[in-house]
Amino acid sequence: MIIDFHTHIFPDKIAQAAIHKLASLIQLEPSMNGTADGLHRSMEDAGVDVSVVLPPVTDPHQYASITRFACFLNEQAQKASPDSPRVISFAGMHPDCSDYSEKLKEIKSLGFAGIKIHPDYQDALFNDIRYKRILYKATELDLACVTHTGFDVYSPNLIHCTVDMILEVLEDVHPSRLVLAHMGNNQHLDEVEEKLIGKDVYFDTAFTITDADPAQLTRMIQNHGADKILFGTDAPWTSQKEAVKRLSSLPLTEEEKEKILWKNAASLLHL
CATH code of residue 176: 3.20.20.140
Please give the Cα distance from 158 to 59 (Å, whole number). Answer: 19
Please give the Cα distance from 187 to 151 (Å, whole number). Answer: 6
Three-class SS state of 92: strand
Please give the Cα distance from 56 to 181 (Å, whole number). Answer: 13
Q: Band of the pLDDT at 14, cuts 50, 70, 90?
A: confident
Taking the CB of residue 254, how many other CB atoms lie within 10 A of it? 7
Looking at this protein, which amino acid is placed at residue 253? T
Taking the CB of residue 193, how many other CB atoms lie within 10 A of it? 17
The percent of residues in the chain predicted with pLDDT above 70, rounded, is 100
Q: Band of the pLDDT at 269, cuts 50, 70, 90?
A: very high
Three-class SS state of 264: helix
| Residue 218 clears pLDDT 80, i.e. is over it | yes
Please give the Cα distance from 207 to 185 (Å, whole number). Answer: 11
Please give the Cα distance from 5 to 258 (Å, whole number). Answer: 14
Q: What is the pLDDT of residues 234-265, one digit of tens each?
A: 999 999 999 999 999 999 999 999 999 999 99
Residue 209: closest CA among 48, 92, 24? 48
For residue 73, the enclosing domain spans: 3-268
Stretch 13-21: mean pLDDT, rounded?
Answer: 82
202-204 and 3-7: which strand pairing? unpaired
Sheet holding 114-117, edge to edge: 91-92, 114-117, 144-147, 178-180, 202-204, 229-230
Q: What is the pLDDT of residues 75-130, one digit of tens each?
A: 999 999 888 899 999 999 999 998 999 999 999 999 999 999 999 999 999 999 99
Q: What is the pLDDT of residues 185-196, one digit of tens each?
A: 999 999 999 999
Q: How many domains, the chain?
A: 1
The percent of residues in the chain predicted with pLDDT above 90, rounded, is 87
Please give the Cα distance from 218 to 198 (Å, whole number). Answer: 14
Residue 51: predicted pLDDT: 98
Phi, psi angle pair for 66, to nearest 5°: -70, -35
Q: Band of the pLDDT at 164, cuts 50, 70, 90?
A: very high
Stretch 15-41: mean pLDDT, rounded?
Answer: 83
Do 241 and 46 contact (CB within 8 A), yes or no?
A: yes
Please give the Cα distance from 260 to 255 (Å, whole number). Answer: 9
